[in-house]
Amino acid sequence: MQTVIRVSIQLGLIGVLFGVAYAVIFGAEHLGQFIVAVIVGFATTATLGGLIQAIPVITRRQPDLQVDETILRESLAVHGDTFKDAGGWLFLTNQYLRFKSHGVSSRKRDLTLPLNEINDFMDDNSEHNSDRTLRVRMTNGQVEKFNLESAQSWQKQISEYINGTKH
């Protein structure tokens, strides 16, 4: 939710610029009209930006957990490669790494990766945002790619849990 508020404020500040431009272009005749244009620009852009940012959070879909499974961590994420990706939520549980697309994603995915079948993590420094990319290699050679904030901390937490240091 903090991300939604931060982005709303940032977009609101851009809205101030639109408000100033509107006031100048349409010739605000006195200070009151100028201030109203700036306030309307801020409010409109911040509100629309907040709504757009909040949609994935509002449409979050909970994974189907087993009886003895608990969620340890969750975050917004994108699964897959460009043009084949799906937005949603990544969940680390005590048994699985799960991805579930959110309600507005056009590509519906429900991915379950058993923790005991995760072989290692691949580093790919050629990626533009490699610090946001988590590549998981399974024991069968399958590689799954997730883009999310704090990919390195996710890798560390998954590794610690797999190696038994977080039981």
CATH of domain 71-162: 2.30.29.30
Residues 6+ apart with CB under 8 A from 135: 121, 122, 123, 124, 143, 144, 145, 146
> What amino acid is encoded at 125 in this protein?
N
The gap from C-alpha 140 to its chain's centroid, in whole angstroms, comes to 28
- Look at the alpha carbons of 88, 14, 130, 73 in this order and tell me if their dihedral is positive or negative: negative
Average pLDDT for 28-45: 79
Strand partners of residue 92: 73, 97
Q: What pLDDT shows up at residue 30?
A: 79
Question: Which range has the top average pLDDT, 14-18, 22-26, 67-71, 120-124?
Answer: 67-71
- For CATH 2.30.29.30, the residue range(s) in the chain are 71-162
Segment (H or E) for 36 = helix 31-58
Q: Which residue has the higher pLDDT, 164 or 96?
A: 96
Q: Which residue has the higher pLDDT, 99 or 64?
A: 99
CA angle 136, 55, 103 (to 5 degrees): 60
pLDDT band of 139, cuts 50, 70, 90: very high
- Look at the alpha carbons of 113, 119, 120, 124 in this order and tell me if their dihedral is positive or negative: negative
Question: Across the chain, what does the average pLDDT equal?
Answer: 79
Q: What are the tokens at 135?
A: 């590549």
Task: Label each residue of 121-161 as H, E or C.
Answer: EECCCCCCCHHHEEEEEECCCCEEEEECCCHHHHHHHHHHH
Q: Is the pTM of this model over 0.85?
A: no
pLDDT at 167 over 50: no
Q: Which residue has the higher pLDDT, 122 or 154?
A: 154
